[in-house]
Amino acid sequence: MGAGADTAGPGGRGSQAVRGTEPARGAELARWRELCAAYPDLSAQLAGFRSGRLDPDEFAAACSAAAEVYDPIVGAFLERCGASHSCGAGWDDLRHGETGGVGGSEAGSANEGALGGEAARAGEPGALAGARLGVKALIAVREAVPTGQSRVFDPAFSAGADAAVVARLRAAGAGIAGTTTMAEHAAGRPDPALDFPLPRNPWDLGCWPGGSSCGTAIGIALGLFPAGLGTDTSGSCRIPAAFCGITGLRPTHGALPVDGILPAAPSLDVVGPMARSARDCRLLFDIMRGGPGTASAAAGLPSAAAPEGRADGGPAGSSTADGGGTAAQAAGPAARTGDGAADRRIGVPAALLDDPRMAPAVAEAFREALRELETAGAILVEVPAPDIDAMIGLTLLVMVREMYDSHRATLGPRWHEYGRSFRRLAALGAFVDDAAYTAALAAGKRAGGALEALFAEAGLAALALPTWPQPAPPYTFAGGTPQDDWNLTAPVCITGHPALALPMGLVPEGSPGAGLPVSLQLIGARGGEDAILALGEAFQERTAHHLLVPVLDPGAAAPPVGDPDAGVGAGATEPTVGGDRRGSSGESAAQRLVDVLTAAGLPVDYDDCRTIIPLAAALSAPSASAPGASSQT
């Protein structure tokens, strides 16, 4: 499916460590691969910029040349900036003190890539100087109006201005590589009938890359840019991170400002960093929240060889030599927790692994990831599983109601300008009345309290789950809207907890989805981003899963995406206004659908209705759970 034949497995998938990638075509691609091999993540690149070993303009040009070749295949960008990093505060501007930002010291290699808590001193580049980031098209950047990859958007929304988190990153020296592709308005999957790029999974072009922050994950996975931003309403930073083999963080709800970001479901929406490594996610998250973090490594977990940027082996974004860290960082883990045990305790709801919806290959990779963490010094504690399905259902119910509210004014009048997947999910919100919505929010608050109690009673730093129970599915799906996925990222969205997705390997030969990435999810207590990031950093210091990259033939052609409505509901009776209401169970589901859509001023379209009916039934189920809950926003 486009992967290099020399390393491809079944289905044309292939991988190798970044350090071993061979050039695919031409001198420009060869140089790009050479630079990505030497500087595999953002932290290493920033260290190279500061030391002078890596020229930021050369690296930006190499990435741009690679994008010229690969972006038409994978559809990572909605809109690209130029080859130089002048889309943001440039290296030369920052070096000469023309732009203020969050600063770091250049006093030797031990401080390369360090974060500072205040504006850079004149003559010093910002902490992200030279970096170019991909930004999801839901998030405002001054170069482009956020459209949500839709024909229906407000051209005046944050026009000419950066979202608050983008402004903080830009003040630290970051440039913008471009806006990235996504599922329309952060829900469902892209409609192939619309005239937008179709984001593709770089590990298998016929598979879904995860959504809705698709393009950011794709670009990072391939090395078109080192890091970027996504949003996460019911999994959208973590699902594409899982399917594309990168790292993604959902922060605690409310931890970061969402000014300048188009709303999907405000009670659930967060913005989060996506990158190759946990240390990169920490670096971005620290700047996005306005200052350095409080943890640099998991307590008691031994460090691997020092990466470029830190002589002591710690993450490149957390040096304290220049005052960029905190007193707790400088004093070490014992200053934070005494013996450090609380930083190392990971709860494992082992019973979930026996659920038939969990792929055996994912369960085994998860067990191996836990063994790796335990060998590194983590303390594993078996805990009872939270009510995952009920929490998924609550997330779905709140999400569709708030999406409907956000688009209520335009959904009916511009119904056919929206893509099929999004409009069907948004229409579900019309089925959620005020009482059900208020009850779901209250139930989510109770579920969040129960989860916090579990963390406190078991003394946990994290709760571990697979990010997704299966490898990436095929791109085309019936009806344009997933209906039977088990979305393990959704439960913490209704509770507001942070979660980190980390690569944990590839599906082995002989298993369904062989050669595709699988992912570990670490859930933290509210405000516990530092703890899960520290555990993620420790895991990645001992493993190389996050350094695997897809090997994609530059001449590959993506297979066509079929019509999602083809063959759906064949033989079904078309619902009609005023139809027969009689039946063994009273009013038919089809007639109720017609009544609800008509009352909401939405069109009664046969193809839409036959997909919405089972989703609406799921909302009415006692737990409002799994079917349709994988909208991936």
pLDDT tens-digit readout, 145-198: 999 999 999 999 999 999 999 999 999 999 999 999 999 999 999 999 999 999
Q: Give tens-digit pLDDT for 503-526.
A: 999 999 999 999 999 999 999 999
3-state secondary structure 143-207: CECCCCCCCCCCCCCCCCCCCHHHHHHHHCCCEEEEEECCCHHHCCCCCCCCCCCCCCCCCCCCE
Mean pLDDT over the full length of the chain:
82
Rounded CA separation 468/211 (Å): 12
What is the pLDDT averaged over residues 69-90? Answer: 76
What is the pLDDT averaged over residues 407-434? Answer: 96
Give the dihedral of Cα atoms 575, 436, 412, 409; nearest 10 deg: 170
What is the pLDDT averaged over residues 245-269? Answer: 98
Is residue 583 pLDDT above 50, yes or no?
no
User: What is the 8-class DSSP label of residue 225?
Assistant: S
What is the pLDDT averaged over residues 586-608? Answer: 87
Distances (CA, A) of 575 to 64, 600, 625: 51, 16, 25
Rounded CA separation 329/28 (Å): 41
**CB atoms < 10 A from the CB of 38, how many?**
15
Q: Which one, of 105, 102, 106, 95, lies nearest residue 128 by Cα? A: 102
Pair 620, 432: CB distance under 8 Å: no
Indicate the range of 303-312, 459-468, 548-557, 561-570 predicted with least confidence. 303-312
Greatest extent of the chain over all pairs of C-alpha atoms, in Å: 80
pLDDT score at 325: 32
pLDDT score at 21: 40
Instruction: Give the residue, 92 or 495, on which the prediction is more confident.
Output: 495
125 phi, psi to nearest 5 deg = -70, 155
Which of the four pLDDT bands, split at 50, 70 and 90, describes residue 591? confident
Indicate the range of 102-106, 434-438, 533-537, 540-544 predicted with least confidence. 102-106
Share of the chain above pLDDT 70, in %: 76
Which of the four pLDDT bands, split at 50, 70 and 90, describes residue 483? low
Distances (CA, A) of 281 to 40, 43, 79, 396, 502: 14, 10, 23, 27, 11
Is residue 247 pLDDT above 50, yes or no?
yes
Angle between helices 278-288 and 164-171 (to 10 degrees): 110
CATH superfamily of 25-82+127-294+352-384+405-421+454-562: Amidase signature (AS) domain (3.90.1300.10)
Pair 512, 359: CB distance under 8 Å: yes
What is the pLDDT averaged over residues 326-331? Answer: 30
Which of the four pLDDT bands, split at 50, 70 and 90, describes residue 629? very low
Instruction: Give the residue, 101 or 285, on which the prediction is more confident.
Output: 285
pLDDT score at 631: 57
Which of the four pLDDT bands, split at 50, 70 and 90, describes residue 569? low
- Could you please report the per-residue DSSP string of 549-605? EE-B-TT--PPPPPPTTTTTTTTPPPP-TT----STTSS-HHHHHHHHHHHTT----
- Could you please report the per-residue DSSP string of 409-456? HHHTTTGGGS-HHHHHHHHHGGG--HHHHHHHHHHHHHHHHHHHHHHH
500 phi, psi to nearest 5 deg = -125, 130
What is the pLDDT averaged over residues 206-233? Answer: 98
pLDDT score at 190: 93
Domain-by-domain residue ranges, the chain?
Answer: 25-82+127-294+352-384+405-421+454-562, 588-620
- Only one residue has tokens 């790796």, namely 372
What is the pLDDT averaged over residues 392-416? Answer: 97
pLDDT score at 448: 98
pLDDT score at 615: 85
pLDDT score at 17: 40
Rounded CA separation 296/533 (Å): 9
pLDDT score at 622: 52
Rounded CA separation 589/569 (Å): 14
- The CA radius of gyration of the chain, in Å to the nearest whole number, is 23
Pair 521, 239: CB distance under 8 Å: no
The tokens describing 213, both together, are 């922050």
pLDDT score at 598: 95
pLDDT score at 173: 96
590 phi, psi to nearest 5 deg = -65, -40
pLDDT score at 278: 98
Is residue 307 pLDDT above 70, yes or no?
no
Is residue 619 pLDDT above 90, yes or no?
no
pLDDT score at 549: 96
Which of the four pLDDT bands, split at 50, 70 and 90, describes residue 306? very low
pLDDT score at 56: 96
Instruction: Give the residue, 437 or 316, on which the prediction is more confident.
Output: 437
pLDDT score at 106: 28
Q: Which one, of 263, 207, 205, lies nearest residue 233 by Cα? A: 263
Q: Which one, of 541, 138, 521, lies nearest residue 307 by Cα? A: 541
615 phi, psi to nearest 5 deg = -70, -40
Which of the four pLDDT bands, split at 50, 70 and 90, describes residue 469? very high
Indicate the range of 67-81, 110-124, 337-351 predicted with least confidence. 110-124
Rounded CA separation 214/208 (Å): 9
Rounded CA separation 148/191 (Å): 13
Rounded CA separation 625/568 (Å): 22
Rounded CA separation 291/323 (Å): 12
User: What is the 8-class DSSP label of residue 479?
Assistant: G
Which of the four pLDDT bands, split at 50, 70 and 90, describes residue 26? confident
Is residue 479 pLDDT above 80, yes or no?
no
pLDDT score at 104: 30
Rounded CA separation 511/536 (Å): 27
pLDDT score at 632: 58
